[in-house]
Amino acid sequence: MRLILTGATGNAGADVLREALRDSRITAVTVLSRRPLPPRINPDPPNPKLRVILHEDFTTYPPSLLNQLEGHSACIWALGVSSNGQTEENYKRITVEYPIAAAKAFAGLKKEGEGEGEGEGKFVFAYLSGMGADQREGKARAMFGRIKGDAERQLAQLPSSGYPSLATYSFHPAGILSSSPDPEASLAYNRPFLQSVFRTLGRVFPSIATDAPVLARAMIEAALRGGNGSIEGWEGKGKVGNEGVFENADIKRLAEETPIE
């Protein structure tokens, strides 16, 4: 399978990239990024499976870009920002408008029914949301939960709203613990010291933390196995509503289904 990845420079996306490059079931990874990957993320020596396409506007996907993405079967959307310090308009643009535009554009990469085997007929869009998001209108009090929930709901509605060649899945991790925290991260939580603190707390209270490699493996499993509109053993995931989301405990269980190589 060929995979599209956004947010590869982020706390979660960097580990998605590492796990995808390690997974023999994935033959190519195309990263869409505004800037080249930094040395801490870019493989050394270079990995022939990896291609980086510089892309500035995540609300538009011209034919010249989509032509380069032909043959890809899934996208893991790990692009996002903290809601701290954001206006609602800007946060909604990044959190809702960006992934919706991408999912609609990528749906055309794979016509319904295409694929070499069972589970490969639809383009899979795996969306990184977060614990606290709520798809029920008016239920989430914080801007983060309300807008993330709106994105999940709109994505889940796409397959029945004119995009039948699309399958979408959303993920609710708890605090994400990177395998290689960025010392220059803008959000203090993502820097090495606080990551180590939360890693220790996560051993005592597993529900408050998710190791980024575990999250990565779960999202990769969804990308690989979710192309028939559902994932075997996880029927109902991807449907509209909070029950259709992979919660923190679900993420850890799904990751355990990754074949050991």
For 7-71, the DSSP string reads -TTSTTHHHHHHHHHH-TT--EEEEEESSPPPTTTS-SSPPTTEEEEE---TT---HHHHHHTTT
Q: What is the mean pLDDT of the chain?
A: 88
pLDDT band, very low/low/confident/very high, at 119 (cuts 50, 70, 90): very low
Can you tell me the distance from the alpha carbon of 18 to that of 20, in angstroms, rounded to the nearest whole number? 6
Q: Check residue 74 and give its pLDDT.
A: 98
For the cut 80, the answer to whether the pLDDT of residue 257 exceeds it is yes
Q: Specify burial of residue 246 (Cβ count, 10 A radius: 0-12, 13-18, 19+).
A: buried
Tokens of 66: 């989509």
Helix, strand or coil, per DSSP, at residue 209 = strand
What confidence category does residue 153 fall into, taking pLDDT thresholds of 50, 70 and 90? Answer: very high
> Phi-psi category of 179—alpha, beta or left, where left has phi over 0 and alpha has psi -120 to 50?
alpha
44 has pLDDT over 90: no
State the alpha helices, DSSP H only, in the chain.
Answer: 13-22, 63-68, 88-92, 98-107, 143-157, 192-204, 212-225, 248-255
Angle, alpha carbons 72-157-258 (nearest 5°): 45
Enumerate domains of the chain plus CATH numbers. 2-181+211-255 (3.40.50.720)
The mean pLDDT value for 110-132 works out to: 75
Q: What is the pTM of this model?
A: 0.89
Residue 197, both tokens = 């603190």
Residue 200 pLDDT > 80, yes or no? no
Count CB neighbours of 89 within 10 A.
7
Top-confidence range, 5-9, 43-47, 208-212? 5-9
| Residue 57: pLDDT over 90 | yes
